[in-house]
């Protein structure tokens, strides 16, 4: 049986943009958006609204900034049905003034991504979004590195000081196992009483889908996925697996299968993502995947010397 309270967020273009600096052709973005709408996905996230003062427009593509004109190019003429449009702001890389009043925007929801140390910035951006008429979530990144009492205090602040719809557990490093997922969702539920709990997992240890299920079992009602798991390094929970698991009759898997075959699989000729041993090792060691990404992207004769990579990151805690 399905749980109608569950909301699915497709973040293919946003999270996938971390593999190619957000350089997606408009037609690819349109097709992903169209498929998500036809499939009945609740929200589709088309990128970041991050500051052009902090990111180079020459280095990063349009979906790192999600200007309103680009969002309209991506969505015009496509029937959204019940699907809502989302973008993300990083608390430490975004500005409140970059968000227009809701009546001037095609965006429905703004997700604020934050580290616990930036809790006050996240609250400022979240309240800016809701005050301007948007739905909002707060996504606490690198949760495997966040502990008490700072996390407890942040959760209390988010509950008391924002009108966010949901607060997310985000396993940025793909390091969590089911027991920790249970613990974290229950911890969030201790403090978050008027909002939903969300879960967003990375696939370093091939646990993103399994951990999403565990989050759902414990009561998380906002869940994320990407087409074919497209995302930084090992990628994310595959959206197609998630929709199949949820059994909600409103979901139509056919448009998702179609766009994966036509648009996502060909991207593998340009970028690499998914389960690989260096990403697995960074997950086991609870490390940021950046070093593993550089190792994989660098190629060369050492690309598959996994012992050398393991020794390198094991000996240097900064890697």
Q: What is the pLDDT of residues 173-183, one digit of tens each?
A: 999 999 999 99
Contact present, 101 and 122 (Cβ < 8 Å): no
H/E stretch holding 290: helix 290-298
CA distance 68 to 70: 5
Q: Please name the residue that has the structure tokens 């260096």.
A: 278
- The number of C-alpha atoms within 13 Å of 109 and in the hemisphere containing its C-beta is 26
pLDDT tens digit sequence for 136-169:
999 999 999 998 899 999 999 999 999 999 999 9
Report the pLDDT value the prediction gives residue 315, as an integer from 0 to 100: 85
What pLDDT does residue 148 have? 82
- What average pLDDT does this structure show over 61-80? 98
pTM of the model: 0.97
User: CA 201 → CA 67, 79, 127, distances in Å?
Assistant: 27, 29, 25
Structure tokens at 210: 């399994």
pLDDT at 37: 98
Domains, the chain, ordered by start: 7-269 (3.20.20.70), 277-315 (no CATH)
Residues 275/231, Cβ–Cβ less than 8 Å: no
């Amino acid at each position: 049986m399905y749980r109608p309270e569950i909301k699915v967020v497709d973040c293919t273009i946003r999270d996938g943009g971390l593999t190619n600096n957000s350089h997606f052709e408009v037609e690819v973005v349109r097709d992903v958006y169209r498929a998500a709408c036809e499939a009945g996905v609740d929200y589709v996230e088309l990128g970041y609204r991050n500051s052009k003062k902090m990111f180079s427009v020459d280095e990063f593509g349009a979906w790192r900034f999600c200007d309103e004109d680009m969002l309209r190019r991506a969505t015009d003429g496509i029937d959204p049905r019940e699907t809502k449009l989302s973008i993300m702001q990083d608390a430490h890389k975004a500005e409140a003034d970059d968000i227009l009043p809701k009546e001037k925007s095609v965006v429905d929801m703004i997700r604020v991504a934050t580290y616990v140390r930036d809790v006050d910035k996240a609250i400022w951006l979240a309240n800016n979004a809701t005050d301007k008429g948007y739905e909002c979530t707060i996504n606490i990144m690198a949760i495997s590195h966040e502990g008490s009492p700072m996390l407890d205090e942040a959760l209390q602040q988010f509950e008391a000081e924002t009108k966010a719809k949901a607060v997310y557990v985000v396993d940025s490093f793909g390091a969590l196992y089911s027991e920790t997922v249970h613990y974290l969702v229950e911890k969030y539920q201790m403090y978050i009483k008027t909002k939903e709990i969300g879960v967003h997992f990375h696939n370093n240890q091939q646990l993103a889908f399994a951990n999403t299920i565990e989050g759902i079992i414990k009561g998380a009602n906002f869940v994320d996925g990407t087409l074919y798991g497209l995302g930084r390094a090992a990628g994310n929970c595959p959206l197609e697996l998630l929709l199949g698991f949820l059994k909600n009759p409103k979901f139509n898997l056919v448009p998702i299968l179609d766009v994966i075959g036509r648009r996502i699989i060909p991207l593998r000729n340009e970028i690499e993502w998914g389960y690989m041993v260096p990403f697995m090792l960074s997950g086991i060691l609870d490390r940021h995947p950046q070093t593993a990404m550089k190792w994989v992207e660098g190629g060369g004769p050492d690309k598959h010397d996994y012992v050398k990579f393991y020794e390198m990151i094991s000996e240097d805690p900064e890697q």
